[in-house]
Amino acid sequence: METTSDQHWDVYLKNCPCRDVLDLLANKWTALMLGALRRRPHRFGELRRAVEGISQKMLTQNLRALERDGLITRTVYPTTPPTVEYALTDLGTDVSRHLVALSTWSQANFSRIREARETFDSRVVEPVS
Amino acid sequence: METTSDQHWDVYLKNCPCRDVLDLLANKWTALMLGALRRRPHRFGELRRAVEGISQKMLTQNLRALERDGLITRTVYPTTPPTVEYALTDLGTDVSRHLVALSTWSQANFSRIREARETFDSRVVEPVS
DNA sequence: CCGGATCCCGATTGATACTG
DNA sequence: CAGTATCAATCGGGATCCGG
- Say whether residue B121 is in contact with chain A using an 8 A CB cutoff: yes
Helix (H) or strand (E) holding A73: strand A72-77
pLDDT digits (tens, 9 = 90+) for B37-51: 999 999 999 999 999
- The whole-number pLDDT of residue B124 equals 73
Taking CB atoms and an 8 Å limit, are A17 and B120 in contact across chains? Answer: no
- Say whether residue A80 is in contact with chain B using an 8 A CB cutoff: no
Query: Burial of B72 by CB count in 10 Å (0-12 exposed, 13-18 middle, 19+ buried)?
Result: buried
Cis amide prior to B81 (ω within 30 degrees): yes
- The whole-number pLDDT of residue B2 equals 52
Indicate the class that CATH gives domain B18-123.
Answer: mainly alpha
In three-state form (DSSP H/G/I as H, E/B as E, the rest C), the secondary structure along B15-72 is CCCHHHHHHHHCEHHHHHHHHHHHHCCEEHHHHHHHCCCCCHHHHHHHHHHHHHCCCE
Q: Are strands A72-77 and B42-43 parallel, antiparallel or unpaired?
A: unpaired
- The whole-number pLDDT of residue A1 equals 59
Residue ranges for chain B with pLDDT beneath 50: 127-129
Is the entire prediction scored with pTM above 0.75? yes
> What's the rounded mean pLDDT across residues A86-108?
98
- The whole-number pLDDT of residue A2 equals 52
To the nearest whole number, what is the mean pLDDT of chain A? 93
**Cα distance between residue B92 and residue A64, in whole Å:** 32
